[in-house]
Structure 1
Amino acid sequence: MYPGPATEEGERVLIETLVADAFGTNCYVLSAGPGSECVVVDPGIGIAPRLDDLLADRGLKPVAVVLTHGHLDHTFSVAPVCGANDVPAYIHTDDAHLLADPSQGFSANMMSLLGTGLDWTEPDDVQPLADGGVIELAGMRFTVDHAPGHTAGSAMFHTADADAAYTVTGDVLFRGAIGRTDLPGGSDAAMQDTLRRKVLPLDDATVVLPGHGPGTTIAAERARNPYLKRAAAGGH
C-alpha cells in the first residue's frame, strides 16, 4: 500500500496493490480512503474475488477501470469488474481492438498457456484515450501519455500531489527492466523512442507503479536500468 496522489481538494489518497494469480500482474486501486470512490487499474487473472473483498472491506465504489494496455494478463477481469460495478473501461485507441479480441495481442504459444476454454466478453462501455488527454476520476486527475513499444497502444498515467509525482507505467518500465517488444504490436524502435521521449524526461523523484514487480523511482531506474541507460546513450 502506497501513500498516493491528492484529491482535487488536496487530500492524500492511497494506492493499494493486488497481484494477479498469473504472470504477477499488478492491479492498483486508487482511492481517497475508506468509503470513497476509487479507480481500478489493470484487473488481471483471478483478481475479481479479491478485488470484491477489498472494495467491501474499505467501502469503496469503483467509478472506472483504467487499462495501461490491452494484453490479457492486464485485462482478463475487466468485463466482470466493469459489469459488476456498471463502470466504463478506459484504454488507448491503438489497443482498443484487443478488448474485442485479446488473442491478437499474444502469440499462439502464449494463448495456449491460458487454456482453450477462454470465455471472453468485451466490456459494454469502452472509452478511448488519446495522447495528452486528461481524465478526472474519483476526484483524481490523470494525464494520459501514449507510450508504444510493448504494444501499439500502451499508455502511462501521470498524477501528482504537493509532495510527489506518480506514474503508472504498465509494461513500459519495470524495476531493472522494460516490457518485451517481440509480441504482436510490439516494436523495439518504438520502445526506444518512448524511453527517450516519455520516460527519461520524468523527474527523478517520480514514483513508478509498474505492471509487474515492485515499485521504484525514475532516479533508481536512471542509475541501474540497462534499458534506460541504453536509451539515454542514444542506443539502438
Structure 2
Amino acid sequence: MRNVTQAIKHLIIINVIMFFVPLLLQMDLTNLFALHYPENEHFGFWQYFTHMFMHGGSMHLLFNMYALWAFGSPLEQMWGKNKFLFFYFSAGIGAGLIYTFVNYYQFNGIYEQLINMGVSSTEIKQILDAGSYNDNIISLSNETMREFYSLYHTPAVGASGAIYGILVAFAIAYPNAKLALIFFPVPVAAKYFIPLMIFGDLFFGVTKYSIGNVAHFAHIGGAIIGFLIAWYWKKSQYRL
C-alpha cells in the first residue's frame, strides 16, 4: 500500500478535524468558512482558502481524501512537499475564483433581466432575503428564480477544485496510468480518463442536468489552474 506523504498526511488530518470537530461540538462554521457569493453578507476573502477544508458530508470528505492520497502521493514524491503544497493551494484558490466569476456572470444575467422588467434593486434584495416573489410581476420561470436565489445563498465547500488540479497534473505526469471507476470498471489511460471527467463536469455545468448541488465550475477551474501549472513545470523543469 502506498505510504502517505507528509503534506498529504497533514492535509488529510486538517480536513478530518475540520469536519468532525464542529460536528461533535454541534458548531456550524458554514457561514464563516464556506465560499459565499461576493455580495452575500457572509462573504469573506479568506473563504477562498478555508472552503477547501469544509465538506458537505462524510462521503464528500471520503472521496476527496481518497483522491488526494491516491493521485497526490506520486506528485508529492516527484515534486517535494513545498512544491506540492504550492500547487494544491493554487489549484484550490484558483478554482474558487473561477467559480465566483462564473456565478457572478450567471447571477448578474438574471439580475439584469429583472431590472429590465421594472423590478427595482430594493425589490430584488427583498426577493433574495425572503426567497419568494410575485409571479404576476416577474415573468421568469420558477427554475430561473430558484437558480437566482441559489447563486446568492448557496456556498461552495470542499477540496474538489484542488483535487481536480491534482487529477490533471497526474494525467500529465503519468498519462498511461490505468484508471477505472466502481460503476465503470474498465481500465482507461489517465490521458483519456481525466479529460472525460472534466468534459462531464462541463456538460453538467452548462446543461442543468446536474444532480444535487455540485460546483461543476469549481472542478473545471481547478482543472484549468492545475493544467497551466503542471504544463509549465513540465516544460520548464521549474523548481521551488
Classify the TM-score, shorter chain: under 0.3
Q: Comparing both structures, which one devotes a greater share of its residues to helix?
A: 2
Q: Comparing both structures, which one devotes a greater share of its residues to strand?
A: 1
Per the normalisation by structure 1, the TM-score is: 0.27
Per the normalisation by structure 2, the TM-score is: 0.26
Q: Larger Cα Rg: Structure 1 or Structure 2? A: 2
Which structure has more relative contact order (CA 8 Å, sep 6+)? It is 2
